[in-house]
């Protein structure tokens, strides 16, 4: 009968005789019905919120994994780009080599770096002031 009261399934068969015998019980049963309904709604809401939070957490994990894969791909592209820009094959990139690079390679570098100022980019990446960039400085900096 507790389950019947909670789901209001034929609850009238239980409530009606008791309320007929003692009318004060109507306040008790109304309070119990309201509390049970609110409790059930809170339980359902908690389950839905928990499910949504779990899904959001999974989405963040997938996004991090995707970004890591994208970063690895971009690092490979940067290494290829470095080799294209290094016209003398010395393993170091100078500002003159960067300025003398083919236009499409410079445009690709501008797109990847997110800047139009190639000279400023070179100065920023050349943090040791040596006048040239090695592969690691170039790839990690961009």
Closest by Cα among 117, 118, 112, 116 to 139: 112
Instruction: Give 9's contacts (C-beta < 8 A, 6+ positions apart).
Output: 3
Query: What is the model's pLDDT at position 49?
Result: 96
Q: How far apart are CA 54 and CA 122, in angstroms?
A: 44
User: What pTM, to 2 d.p., does this model score?
Assistant: 0.48
Query: 26-32 contacts: CB < 8 A, separation 24 or more?
Result: 32/5
Distances (CA, A) of 82 to 110, 113, 126, 139: 13, 13, 14, 8
Contact of 132 with 93, CB cutoff 8 Å: yes
pLDDT of the chain, 142 residues: tens digit per residue: 677 777 777 777 878 898 999 999 999 988 988 888 888 889 999 999 999 999 998 899 889 999 889 888 888 887 777 777 777 777 777 778 877 777 887 788 777 777 777 777 777 777 777 777 777 776 776 6
Compute CA 29 distance to the chain's CA centroid, rounded to the nearest angstrom: 48
Query: What is the model's pLDDT at position 21?
Result: 94
């Amino acid at each position: 009968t507790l389950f019947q009261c909670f789901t209001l399934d034929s609850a009238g068969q239980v409530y009606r005789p008791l309320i007929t015998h003692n009318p004060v019980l109507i306040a008790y049963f109304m309070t119990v019905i309201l509390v049970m309904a609110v409790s059930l709604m809170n339980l359902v809401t908690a389950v839905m919120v928990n499910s949504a939070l779990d899904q959001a957490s999974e989405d963040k994990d997938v996004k991090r994994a995707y970004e890591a894969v994208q970063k690895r791909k971009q690092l490979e592209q940067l290494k290829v780009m470095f080799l294209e820009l290094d016209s003398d094959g010395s393993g170091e990139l100078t500002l003159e080599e960067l300025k003398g690079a083919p236009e499409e390679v410079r445009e690709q570098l501008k797109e990847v770096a997110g800047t139009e100022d190639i000279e400023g980019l070179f100065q920023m990446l050349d943090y040791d002031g040596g006048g040239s960039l090695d592969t690691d400085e170039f790839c990690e900096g961009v």
